[in-house]
């Protein structure tokens, strides 16, 4: 879906809609509170959750990948748990990149599976059992803050510094699945990715630790970009990708934004290639979008991979040490 403009920071729902949306938001928040209060299965290994209170992307997958890399460096055997956007209803399963596509398990699952064993399914307890049976000794959840089926050892709230909490209201008045304070109460710390342009940190409870990080593009991918590019993206905030290109000296000649998790069709790809040809440009997209492209359609399209860079890496390492000791 494409989020309504009034979900953004500094906006309010149109006044004609407010009497309708307000009770619906109250009901949505109450339903979320009831759901998260349900007890979940307690795994015999540590469970680390990367979540956020709102709908849409905030940087959960880059954070999950970073945590797993640090766990691997410690000699641990991490496994990822993800809902598997686009594959709901198929039950718990291990992601196999050789036979699963993004349509089967979601784009995030394929990115995660390239680093460590990944298990997809809406029931996190079921995927956790599969992962543990396969030898995982620590579980990293990509999303799932509002999923009660599996008890978490520690949870990190992920905040996109450029979007913050949107207008701070609950669906459908705003982008949040639950009030900020309710979500923060279940989180050990917040990870703020990028400059806090909306003062989101000030909306957290004062005792909430905030760990600062930023997204950095892969240097070799940047070096491979030609002078003339056409950028396209179907992520939570496509403008974030376009801005990254501009900030690193590669302003696109044209940009095309698609909805989050957009399944690219032949018509979409024909439109992208035709626009690029008119501009004498090369199409460039995110790694997350690239894995959603049919393999036969990837030729001639470049991807820009990213990684998380910490302002103070000792703080996330300390978080991991404490979380592993707590379990």
The encoded tokens of residue 161 equal 């510094």
Residue 152, domain extent: 47-215+311-326
Q: What percent of the chain has pLDDT over 70?
A: 98
| pTM to 2 decimal places | 0.92
Q: Is residue 206 part of a domain?
A: yes
pLDDT value for 261: 86
pLDDT value for 156: 98
pLDDT value for 327: 67
pLDDT band, very low/low/confident/very high, at 84 (cuts 50, 70, 90):
confident
pLDDT band, very low/low/confident/very high, at 106 (cuts 50, 70, 90):
confident
pLDDT value for 218: 95
pLDDT digits (tens, 9 = 90+) for 183-222: 999 999 999 999 999 999 999 999 999 999 999 999 999 9
Please tell me whether residues 192 and 291 are part of one structural domain: no
Mean pLDDT over 102-120 rounds to 92
Residue 37 predicted with pLDDT over 90: yes
State the Cα–Cα distance between residues 164 and 38, nearest whole angstrom. Answer: 28
pLDDT value for 326: 81
> How many domains does the chain fold into?
2
Q: Which long-range contacts (CB under 8 A, 24 or more apart) does 167-171 make?
A: 167/6, 167/7, 167/8, 167/9, 167/10, 167/11, 167/12, 168/9, 168/203, 169/7, 169/13, 169/25, 170/25, 170/26, 170/28, 170/29, 170/32, 171/25, 171/28, 171/55
pLDDT digits (tens, 9 = 90+) for 10-28: 899 998 899 999 999 999 9
Mean pLDDT over 68-96 rounds to 87
State the Cα–Cα distance between residues 180 and 150, nearest whole angstrom. Answer: 21
Q: Is residue 14 part of a domain?
A: no
pLDDT digits (tens, 9 = 90+) for 60-79: 999 999 999 999 999 999 99
Please tell me whether residues 112 and 100 are part of one structural domain: yes
pLDDT band, very low/low/confident/very high, at 119 (cuts 50, 70, 90):
very high
Residue 274 predicted with pLDDT over 70: yes
pLDDT band, very low/low/confident/very high, at 1 (cuts 50, 70, 90):
low
Q: Is residue 251 part of a domain?
A: yes
Please tell me whether residues 180 and 249 are part of one structural domain: no
Please tell me whether residues 173 and 251 are part of one structural domain: no
Q: Is the previous residue joined to 172 through a cis bond, with omega within 30 degrees of 0? A: yes
Q: Is residue 110 part of a domain?
A: yes
Please tell me whether residues 109 and 209 are part of one structural domain: yes
pLDDT band, very low/low/confident/very high, at 91 (cuts 50, 70, 90):
confident
Please tell me whether residues 194 and 252 are part of one structural domain: no
Q: Is residue 286 part of a domain?
A: yes
Residue 87 predicted with pLDDT over 60: no
Please tell me whether residues 286 and 229 are part of one structural domain: yes
Mean pLDDT over 225-247 rounds to 94
Domain at 75, CATH number: 3.40.50.300
Please tell me whether residues 99 and 195 are part of one structural domain: yes
Please tell me whether residues 132 and 266 are part of one structural domain: no
Q: Is residue 25 part of a domain?
A: no
Please tell me whether residues 157 and 51 are part of one structural domain: yes
Strand partners, 159: 192
What is the overall mean pLDDT for the chain? 93
Please tell me whether residues 66 and 90 are part of one structural domain: yes
Please tell me whether residues 289 and 321 are part of one structural domain: no
pLDDT value for 225: 97
Q: Is residue 170 part of a domain?
A: yes
Q: Is residue 27 part of a domain?
A: no
Q: What percent of the chain has pLDDT over 90?
A: 84
pLDDT value for 237: 87
């Amino acid at each position: 879906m494409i989020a309504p403009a009034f979900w953004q920071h500094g906006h309010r729902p149109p006044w004609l809609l407010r009497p309708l949306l307000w009770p619906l938001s109250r009901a949505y928040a109450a339903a979320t509170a009831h759901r998260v209060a349900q007890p979940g299965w307690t795994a015999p290994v540590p469970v680390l959750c990367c979540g956020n209170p709102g709908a849409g992307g905030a940087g959960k997958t880059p954070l999950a990948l970073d945590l797993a890399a640090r766990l691997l460096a410690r000699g641990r055997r991490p496994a990822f748990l993800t809902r598997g956007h686009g594959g709901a209803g198929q039950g718990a399963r291990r992601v196999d990149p050789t036979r699963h596509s993004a349509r089967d398990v979601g784009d995030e699952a394929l990115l995660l599976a390239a680093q460590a064993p990944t298990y997809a399914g809406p029931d996190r307890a079921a995927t956790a059992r599969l992962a543990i049976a396969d030898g995982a000794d620590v579980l990293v959840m990509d999303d799932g803050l509002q999923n009660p089926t599996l008890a978490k050892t520690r949870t990190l709230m992920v905040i996109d510094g450029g979007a913050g909490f949107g207008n701070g209201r609950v669906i459908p008045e705003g982008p949040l699945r639950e009030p900020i304070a309710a979500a923060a109460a279940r989180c050990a710390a917040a990870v703020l990715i990028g400059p806090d342009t909306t003062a989101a940190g000030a909306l957290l409870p004062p005792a909430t630790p905030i760990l600062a990080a930023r997204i950095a593009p892969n240097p070799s991918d940047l070096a491979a970009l030609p002078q003339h590019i056409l950028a396209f993206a179907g992520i939570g905030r496509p403008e974030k990708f376009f801005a990254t290109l501009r900030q690193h000296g590669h302003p696109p000649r044209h940009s095309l934004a698609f909805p989050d998790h957009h399944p690219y069709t032949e018509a979409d790809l024909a439109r992208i290639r035709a626009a690029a040809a008119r501009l004498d440009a090369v199409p460039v997209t995110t790694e997350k979008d690239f894995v959603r492209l049919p393999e036969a359609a990837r030729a001639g399209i470049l991807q820009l991979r990213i990684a998380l860079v910490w302002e103070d890496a000792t703080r996330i390492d300390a978080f991991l040490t404490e979380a592993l000791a707590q379990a």
